[in-house]
Amino acid sequence: MQRLDRVVIVGGGPVGLTAALALGQSGVPVTLFEHYATPFEDPRAATLHPPSLEMLSALGAGEEVIRRGLVAPRFQFRDRATFEVVATFDLAHIADATAHPYCVQCEQHKVAAALLDLIGSGKWDIEINLGTTVSSVAQDGDGVMITAAGPQGEIAVRAPWILGADGGRSTVRKALGIEFEGFTWRERFLVVTTPFDFRTTFGFEYRNYLSDPAEWCALFKVPGFTPEGHWRVVFPTPPEETDEEVLSDASILRRLTGAFGGSARDFPVMHRNLYIVNQRVAARFRKGRAFLAGDAAHVNNPLGGLGMNSGIHDAVNLAGKLAAVWHGRVPGAAAEDLLDRYHRQRHTVAHEFVQAQTIRNKQTLEERDPEVRARALAHLRATAADPKRARPYLMNTSLLASITRADAIP
């Protein structure tokens, strides 16, 4: 077994790579293992909120992510049946609280690629092992034992600390026996990618939510790989429908034309993906010498675009604390408490902000009771129209308030 005097990170998604860069820049040597040979291009996260842009900018990756993305200062709620704009929220209302009063639509594999490029500059002691899968993790009082397999064959290493940033099915979390508490929604979410230009035709923003008691829908623009970019449309699908039915041309066309009118010619389908959707939070974000961050620690429905963002916030929070301990700036019991504080802070905001908001967003979009629905939409309309009410709403939905909340947790 090879002894590494380095922090080991499992998972090179946006969260693991952010943690690697933040630790490396703090003078902590890092070895990262990532299963894929290049960032996996599935259509998941695309929205970066202001605090994540601030953190990526502090790491030197913000400018590149903004350059590769689309700046989205506003988002819309509509009534799907009438197409009426219920509320348009403008992040200009929080311009006093952030250097980035806008979201950026940039696919997560491009965020990962931007981070990898920066790490590849070789300025920091960060070793990235792509195409390498970690299969087992165990720990004792002094360190963590990891086995992995990749282009270099089977590897067995021992390291003082490990971060599991290995996604919702985290090998690290399972190996540590940490409960993933929560539930799975009955519906799966269908994501359809099309070049149809919803902005020019219907005046949509780059981020939109369409409420409907029978079938809500969410609509986002992403840059893609063409100057025109493309759009992702998200629909809930009932458990009675099989995967084959949901992913068939007929069902996709029925859903698109049901929501937006037109015909098959209008909506060339570039990709179709179906996701099982969970709301779960790990019982502990730290166990001994192991930490969890990002989807390994918490998963949620994508309405609000909070999963990757809160994972980036985990990574930056943990890196600061682990670097302080690594460099011996915090001695003995205080070091233990500082590392436990990572759990206290990030576990709390995972529940209070990310879980609460994403569940509420889904409920608002799908509400069936006409009176409750009318009240919810009226509330959104009034909130967007009044800057005094829009500001706290945007502080929450952007997760800026979650950072202040976490900082206040001792």
Ligand X SMILES: Cc1cc2nc3c(=O)[nH]c(=O)nc-3n(C[C@H](O)[C@H](O)[C@H](O)COP(=O)(O)OP(=O)(O)OC[C@H]3O[C@@H](n4cnc5c(N)ncnc54)[C@H](O)[C@@H]3O)c2cc1C
Across the beta sheet with 70-72, the strand order is 47-48, 103-105, 70-72
Q: How far is CA 290 from each of CA 257, 363, 397, rounded to the nearest angstrom?
A: 48, 35, 30
The single residue among 98, 171, 193, 279 that binds ligand X, judged by CB under 6 A, is: 171
The single residue among 6, 9, 12, 216 that binds ligand X, judged by CB under 6 A, is: 12
Residue labelled with tokens 């590849």: 120
Q: How far is CA 197 from each of CA 57, 203, 255, 267, rounded to the nearest angstrom?
A: 30, 9, 17, 9
Q: How far is the CB of 330 from ligand X (least distance, A)?
A: 26
Choices 178-186, 248-256, 279-287, 300-308 (CB under 6 A): range interacting with ligand X: 300-308
Q: How far is the CB of 174 from ligand X (least distance, A)?
A: 10
Q: Is 308 near ligand X (CB under 6 A)? A: yes
The first and second tokens of residue 365, run together, are 């979009």
DSSP letter for 146, please.
Answer: E
Choices 35-43, 322-330, 352-360, 388-396 (CB under 6 A): range interacting with ligand X: 35-43
Q: Is 34 near ligand X (CB under 6 A)? A: yes
At 19 the three-state DSSP class reads helix
Q: Taking Cα atoms as reference points, which of 125, 1, 118, 101 lies closest to residue 61?
A: 118
Q: Is 364 near ligand X (CB under 6 A)? A: no
Q: Is 295 near ligand X (CB under 6 A)? A: yes
Q: How far is CA 176 from the centre of its chain?
A: 23
Virtual torsion, Cα 34, 17, 21, 407, nearest 10 deg: -130
Q: How far is the CB of 303 from ligand X (least distance, A)?
A: 9
Q: Provide the β-strand partners of residue 209.
A: 77, 218
The single residue among 8, 9, 15, 113 that binds ligand X, judged by CB under 6 A, is: 15
The single residue among 94, 134, 365, 406 that binds ligand X, judged by CB under 6 A, is: 134
**CA dist., res. 26 & res. 18, Å (int):** 12
Q: Is 21 near ligand X (CB under 6 A)? A: no
Name the helix (H) or strand (E) containing 127: strand 126-129
Neighbours of 399 (CB within 10 A): 25
The single residue among 7, 46, 106, 144 that binds ligand X, judged by CB under 6 A, is: 46
Q: How far is the CB of 345 from ligand X (least distance, A)?
A: 17
**CA dist., res. 315 & res. 318, Å (int):** 5
Number of chain positions touching ligand X (CB under 6 A): 35
Q: Which residues of 192-221 are buried (b: 16+ CB within 10 A; e: fewer)?
A: bbbebebeeeeebbbbbbbbbeebbbbbbb
Q: How far is the CB of 56 from ligand X (least distance, A)?
A: 12
Q: Is 291 near ligand X (CB under 6 A)? A: no
Residues in the chain: 410
Report the residue number, 11 or 50, with the smaller CB distance to ligand X: 11
**CA dist., res. 103 & res. 74, Å (int):** 8
At a CB cut-off of 8 Å and minimum separation 6, what does 316 contact? Answer: 18, 19, 22, 55, 59
The pairing of strands 180-194 and 207-211 is: unpaired
Report the residue number, 165 or 406, with the smaller CB distance to ligand X: 165
Q: How far is the CB of 195 from ligand X (least distance, A)?
A: 18
Write out the binding residues for ligand X, residues 220-279 only, by CB under 6 A: 275
Q: Is 317 near ligand X (CB under 6 A)? A: no
Q: Is 147 near ligand X (CB under 6 A)? A: no
- What is the pattern of x (binds ligand X, CB under 6 A) and - over residues 173-212? ----------------x-x---------------------
Q: Is 33 near ligand X (CB under 6 A)? A: yes
Q: Taking Cα atoms as reference points, which of 164, 177, 135, 185 lies closest to residue 300?
A: 185
For the chain, the farthest-separated pair of C-alpha atoms sits apart, in whole angstroms, at: 67
Choices 30-38, 75-83, 119-127, 331-339 (CB under 6 A): range interacting with ligand X: 30-38
Choices 175-183, 298-306, 321-329, 376-384 (CB under 6 A): range interacting with ligand X: 298-306
Choices 20-28, 162-170, 180-188, 375-383 (CB under 6 A): range interacting with ligand X: 162-170
Catalog residues that contact ligand X under the rule CB under 6 A.
10-16, 33-36, 40, 44-47, 108, 133-134, 165-167, 171, 189, 191, 275, 294-295, 302, 305-309, 311
